[in-house]
Structure 1
């Protein structure tokens, strides 16, 4: 469903581009800011513009996430690289080096950006947002990409389905084994005192 929505959006955008400026549909601003800030402005103002536009990656001078043919996020930056990027980027706006209010705000937002990239939920949301955008751009740039994407999604769905079946089988075997162990424990508890005594006498007789 998500891919179908992106296919439709990409097709509409491509049709608008082909129609020309006079017939193009109005552009709706996305949550993610477009191009990185140029060389103008202070480092603090660049950081704030990126983050206010939803682009924590450019704010930290990290590569933006891409997507694979199935529309899934692709981003192989490590935690160590994130920390290194933060240390390097924050030097210009650290309160000890830059006492301006703008720098303080940029420094605080950089800290929050790093926390977002270390939080699985917030990081996943950011990666998905950029992956969706990259996917739509690929569809607009290459009409044949749509068919490749559908096939890739079908393969991914098949893998997910197989993995889900295996997971269900493992869970079923675990439930069966748990019931078997519970039944054995119940039978041991239900053994009569006479049976326990007979078993004990039998053991003594063997000696």
Structure 2
């Protein structure tokens, strides 16, 4: 089981002006984000609830199940990274199959940045195009935070963008880690989020169900 503290925003069409450039180059000392490749995630189509998400990735043997534990578990106040934080748990299973169920095939192009927050300062680790560590001798941290920016398409048509922060590690450390990253990012003058809608993937996907 993987437990994470998350906060996420969606935009229905275009990003706020300057947000993409800020994400890629917030400061001279920042690393360029990893990722940027287009991947398809097939989500179970379910408009009856927004607390459980199930998906698989074509070519992968496992199904990912992600469940909401607490919707207002903590709160961030570092504008524009402000709002209630959700606590989620995730499991994977190779015995579940979704291929015969109604699905939403979402095409995602994601850029990712990784930070360690275990020390007194926030430190960014460089990632490659596969979202792995750029330094082959490094090991993925057991606790830290990521920030992702993702372009979302259905049948090749742009349907939105999302920006999300996620802290991982021990349950007791998650609020501090997410708060530290939010303050670190806010200090580098991000643009305002404008008409962003805060929520989770299950909530956002209901519009297509």
**If each structure's strand is expressed as a fraction of its own residues, which one has the higher value?**
2
TM-score range, shorter-chain basis? under 0.3
Greater helix fraction, Structure 1 or Structure 2? 1
Which is bigger in relative contact order (C-alpha 8 A, separation at least 6)?
Answer: 2
Question: What TM-score comes out, normalization by structure 1 length?
Answer: 0.20
